[in-house]
């Protein structure tokens, strides 16, 4: 039985290729909202059995809601993507968990019967809008010692995790960074990445128009030896380097959510069923531990234990943050159930877009592994938060039995 009312299923999810956020990056001369429009259009094209008029809402997330990331993204991108004018939309900001929050917010609307279907996703252009560049943090944060100064610098919070938990060594983080690159390269070669990518038209003032078809950030062949001597930009003599951090990234994602009964009515084939979700707050200075309480709460709501979860998609904002999660739940660093296709250290982390990337990768693994019943998508969130969503595999035999009683 669904936990929140009606069943909510993920029918499909797609993303743009991810680009490096720099002056010569993939999307340096492309508008952020145009990337999102292309992704939403392709999501709709891939799922023509759902009449666009059945979509009840569109939620798109962005951390920097200014410039080409402004103007109520869900509505403006929906109109530009060709959705009927009757379909409303809105924007969301929960920093890194923006797209995840878009999914859970719209799923809640579906669960209570307010809407039948929705598009949720996120977009970030860190090349045009670096994190925090236009923000004006309230001086009370520091003046009244509500948080320490480094709580507002994500890389500094990663260093704090190394300090607080001596088991989280630089050596472990370096090894995890190498593994992320290797897993992504293997998944790409096996055809597990490209099918979910939407080609994006891009413009370069010198070369003209082109097409983005592959991720730009990965560094295949990364080795421990090659990482030696890299600077530690967040602290002199620190432990966090570019090789154990997600690169600054541009890109967009989108997912199609539908009520279970509507999926049955229209003959749509779900890729995942939402079981439970939770968000939690932690000390901003160690925001990387946020996924731990969020996951514990999501498991509690689902009446599951961590042993029931067979696949994990954990956002790799920093390697040390993933390691903190693994230690909390007694999972080995090299457990093959964790980030089987690699993670953000390799592919990039366009902040508000990343939650749906985790979901689409989990969905593909569900299809490949029908023996798996439950999977988890989880991520840490700036200013001391965590978000987790538990999903059920519709290909699993027990799921099929329970839904045909």
pLDDT, tens digit, 9 for 90 and up, residues 11-30: 999 999 999 999 999 999 99
| pLDDT averaged over every residue in the chain | 95
The pLDDT value recorded for residue 2 is: 55
**Among 381, 400, 376, residue whose Cα is nearest residue 301:** 376
Q: Is the dihedral of CA 101, 103, 109, 111 positive or negative?
A: negative
pLDDT of 181 > 70? The answer is yes
Q: Which of 96, 129, 395, 396 is catalytic?
A: 96
Percent of the chain predicted with pLDDT > 90:
88
Which CATH number is associated with domain 8-127+246-402?
Answer: 3.40.47.10
Active site residue 128: no
The pLDDT value recorded for residue 141 is: 82
Q: Which of 125, 129, 162, 349 is catalytic?
A: 349
The pLDDT value recorded for residue 405 is: 42
Active site residue 162: no
pLDDT, tens digit, 9 for 90 and up, residues 57-111: 999 999 999 999 999 999 999 999 999 999 999 999 999 999 999 999 999 999 9
227 pLDDT tier (thresholds 50, 70, 90): very high
What residue spans define the domains of the chain? 8-127+246-402
The pLDDT value recorded for residue 142 is: 77
User: What is the model's pTM?
Assistant: 0.96
The pLDDT value recorded for residue 331 is: 98
CA 335 → CA 74, 188, 248, 252, 327, distances in Å?
37, 19, 27, 29, 12
pLDDT, tens digit, 9 for 90 and up, residues 345-394: 999 999 999 999 999 999 999 999 999 999 999 999 999 999 999 999 99
The pLDDT value recorded for residue 52 is: 96
4 pLDDT tier (thresholds 50, 70, 90): low
Active site residue 380: yes
Q: Which of 125, 129, 162, 380 is catalytic?
A: 380
pLDDT, tens digit, 9 for 90 and up, residues 113-156: 999 999 999 999 999 998 877 778 888 887 888 888 787 789 99
The pLDDT value recorded for residue 99 is: 98
The pLDDT value recorded for residue 135 is: 79
pLDDT of 335 > 70? The answer is yes
pLDDT of 8 > 60? The answer is yes
């Amino acid at each position: 039985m669904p936990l929140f009312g009606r069943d909510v299923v993920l029918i499909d999810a797609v993303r743009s290729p991810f680009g490096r956020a720099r002056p010569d990056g993939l999307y340096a001369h492309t508008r952020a909202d145009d990337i999102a429009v292309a992704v939403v259009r392709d999501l709709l094209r891939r799922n023509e059995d759902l009449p666009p008029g059945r979509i009840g809402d569109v939620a798109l997330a962005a951390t920097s809601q200014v410039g080409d990331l402004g103007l109520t993204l869900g509505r403006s991108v929906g109109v530009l993507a060709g959705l009927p004018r009757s379909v409303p939309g809105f924007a969301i900001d929960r920093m890194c968990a923006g797209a995840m929050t878009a999914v859970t917010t719209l799923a809640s609307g579906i669960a209570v019967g307010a809407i039948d279907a929705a598009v949720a996703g996120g977009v970030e252009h860190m090349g045009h809008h670096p994190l925090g560049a236009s923000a004006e943090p309230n001086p009370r944060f520091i003046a009244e010692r509500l948080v320490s100064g480094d709580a507002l610098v994500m890389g500094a919070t990663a260093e704090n995790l190394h300090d607080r938990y001596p088991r989280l060594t630089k050596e472990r983080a370096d090894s995890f960074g190498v593994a992320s690159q290797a897993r992504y390269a293997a998944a790409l070669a096996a055809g597990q990445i490209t099918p979910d990518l939407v080609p994006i038209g891009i413009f370069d003032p010198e070369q003209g128009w082109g097409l983005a078809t592959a991720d730009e950030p990965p560094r295949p062949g990364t080795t421990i030896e090659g990482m030696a001597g890299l600077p530690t930009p967040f602290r002199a003599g620190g432990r966090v380097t570019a090789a154990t951090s997600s690169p600054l990234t541009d890109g967009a994602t989108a997912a199609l959510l539908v009520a279970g009964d509507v999926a049955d009515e229209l003959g749509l084939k779900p890729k995942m069923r939402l079981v439970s979700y939770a968000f939690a707050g932690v000390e901003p200075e160690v925001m990387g531990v946020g996924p731990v309480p969020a996951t514990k709460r999501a498991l509690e709501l689902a009446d599951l234990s961590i042993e029931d979860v067979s696949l994990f998609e954990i956002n790799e904002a920093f390697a040390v943050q993933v390691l903190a999660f693994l230690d909390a739940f007694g999972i080995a660093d090299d457990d093959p159930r964790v980030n089987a296709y690699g993670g953000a250290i390799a592919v990039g982390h366009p902040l508000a877009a990343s939650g749906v990337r985790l979901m689409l990768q989990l969905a593909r693994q569900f299809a490949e592994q029908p023996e798996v019943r439950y999977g988890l998508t989880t991520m840490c969130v700036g200013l001391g938060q965590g978000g987790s969503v538990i999903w059920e595999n519709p290909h699993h035999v027990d799921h099929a039995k329970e839904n045909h009683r």
